[in-house]
Amino acid sequence: DAFGRDSGRGHSLPKNLKIFKDARHEMTYDVNEKPKIVIYWLAQVLNPDKPVRISNEHQAFDC
């Protein structure tokens, strides 16, 4: 599952999240004339004191 792959790559959140799978938003767009689908889920951080790490491919995050 893509969420499992992407949520665990590059940051420290997956074990610290409660995912609400019924609360999702799907976006579709084209990149280089190929369709892409992005799905966002609502999530709650279980331990807000745990630091967040982001990978080099991401520039920043907002809290």
In this prediction, residue 15 carries a pLDDT of: 78
pTM for this predicted structure: 0.54
Exposed e or buried b per residue across 29-55, where buried means at least 16 C-beta atoms within 10 angstroms of its C-beta: eeeeeeeeeeeeeebeeeeeeeeeeee
pLDDT tens-place string over residues 7-62: 555 445 577 889 898 999 999 999 999 999 999 989 898 988 987 777 777 666 66
Residue 17 and residue 43 in contact, taking contact as beta carbons nearer than 8 Å: yes
CA distance 13 to 36: 24
Name the more confident of 2 and 54. 54
